Chain A
Amino acid sequence: MQREEDARILLLLKDKRSQEEGFRLMMSLYQERIYWHIRKFVFDHDDANDIVQNTFIKAFRGIGGFRSDAKLYTWLYKIASNESITFLKKKSKRQTDSLEDEDGLSIGSRLRSDAYFDGDHAQETLQKAIANLPDKQRLVFNMRYYDELPYNDISTVLGTSVGALKASYHHAVKKIEQYVKETFESV
């Protein structure tokens, strides 16, 4: 079913007269998955909104380079992941340059002050634990834990072997477990 929809999107995007329809169809099918993937990586809604739009614009402009035998959503995940990492690196550099420290706030404070975050203390702790992971490990954890992507697809997105991804996920789970344990023990 997904293959048929992907084929239809590609067909619509090829013709200039139906490009807008193809673009809207692509977004209606994948925008939520891609948005949540980005949001759980960057946390902030405004940042995620900016990145998700960039992701679809880049996908539209680069559709000529998409291999039709691949899955459209893995390609979108790939663009979204790259965009998110690039965004965070730029943001981190800006903050270093301007001597700011994450807008002067820790991830916990940012989440508590975020109008679009509705988690309890346990959720806040989990998000803090995830935020402490290295970028790539965080992507692996999110794609496996939240999005339940098969390892083969994560491998396509990140260009890493399945074995390495499994090890990375395992380590991420252990680190999160340790962080949560320490946090609750110290309370």
Chain B
Amino acid sequence: MSENQHNMDEKLPKFLQEMKDENPFQVPPEYFKNLSTQTWKRMQKTQESRGIRWVPDGFRFAIRATVGLLRPTMAFGAIALLIGLAILWPNTEEFGGHGAMLTEQEILTYIAENVDDFDVNELYWAEALTMEEVPSDLLGDPSDELELEPVFEELIEDLDLEDIL
């Protein structure tokens, strides 16, 4: 120890030397006698509330070891699950963003407001559930289909196989 350090340590002002052994603080009677019992009880209480006593040490070790081993696998599984959900989740954009949430009333209101934009024929078709329910005047003449067949055949003959592919 250097001289300087020795002086720094040992030189105390007179008042500090005189007051050194005084202890102005007190404790309640019998405080130290009961302290270890109080502390032990408190520890037991906190252990019970934590539930530590319910699980024997051997089991606790086994649980910790198992969780420790499974943790990377569980993390990997969780990531795979999240990716799977992200891929398979229904895409509401296909329904115009809000399609899945529209009520029947909203649909009817929309049609009523925009009815001019709809082809009346389409509305008839939409109302019909089967071909029999479609009014015959809307179906047109079946012979028209037959007349178109030769035209289609000609067109197909003109097409190269490469164009189709």
Q: Residues of A at under 8 Å CB distance from B?
A: 20, 23-24, 27-28, 31-32, 35-36, 39-40, 43, 45, 49, 52-53, 56-57, 60, 116-120, 122-124, 126-127, 144-146, 151, 163, 166-167, 169-170, 173, 176-177, 180
Q: Kindly list chain A residues whose C-beta atoms are within 8 Å of the C-beta of B13.
A: 173, 177, 180
Known A23-B36, A31-B32, A173-B13: A118·B26 in contact at CB below 8 Å: yes
Given contacts A40-B25, A127-B24, A163-B5, contact A20 B15 (CB under 8 A): no
**Complex Cα gap A120–B42 (Å):** 35
Q: B39 an interface residue at 8 Å Cβ cutoff?
A: yes
Contact partners of A120 in chain B: CB under 8 A: 24
Closest 6 CB pairs of A and B: A119-B24, A27-B36, A170-B8, A123-B24, A116-B26, A53-B39
Cβ of B12 under 8 Å from chain A: yes
Q: Chain B 20-57, CB within 8 Å of chain A: the 1/0 string?
A: 10111111100110011011101100100000000000
A175 to B57, CA, bound (A): 52
Q: B65-94: which have CB < 8 Å to A?
A: none
A123 touches which one: B19, B28, B32, B43 (CB < 8 A)? B19
Chain B residues, Cβ within 8 Å of A36 = 23, 25
Quick one: which of A57, A116, A173 contacts B28, CB cutoff 8 A? A116
Known: A57-B43, A126-B19. A24 touches B24 (CB 8 A): no
* Residues of chain A with a CB closer than 8 A to B42's CB: 53, 57
> Which residues on the A side are within 8 Å of B39 (C-beta)?
23, 27, 52-53, 56-57
Q: Show the binding face of B for A, using Cβ within 8 Å.
A: 5, 8-9, 12-13, 15-16, 19-20, 22-28, 31-32, 35-36, 38-40, 42-43, 46
Interchain CB contact (< 8 A) of B8 among A32, A39, A123, A166? A166
A64 to chain B, nearest CB (A): 12
With A32-B32, A35-B32 already in contact, the answer to whether A166 and B38 are too (CB < 8 A) is: no
The verdict on A118 contacting B16 (CB below 8 Å), with A28-B36, A166-B8 known, is no
**In the complex, are the beta carbons of A173 and B12 less than 8 A apart?**
yes
- Do the beta carbons of A24 and B25 come within 8 Å of each other? no
Would B35 and A31 count as touching, CB distance under 8 A? yes
A166/B5 in contact, CB under 8 A: yes
Assess whether A122 is in contact with B25, with CB atoms less than 8 Å apart. Answer: no
Which residue from chain A places its CB closest to the CB of B11 in the assembled complex?
A173
In the complex, the chain B residue whose C-beta lies closest to that of A126 is B19
Residue pairs across A and B with Cβ atoms less than 8 A apart, 15 shown, are: A31-B36, A35-B32, A43-B25, A53-B35, A117-B24, A117-B26, A123-B22, A123-B24, A145-B20, A166-B8, A167-B8, A169-B9, A170-B9, A173-B12, A180-B13
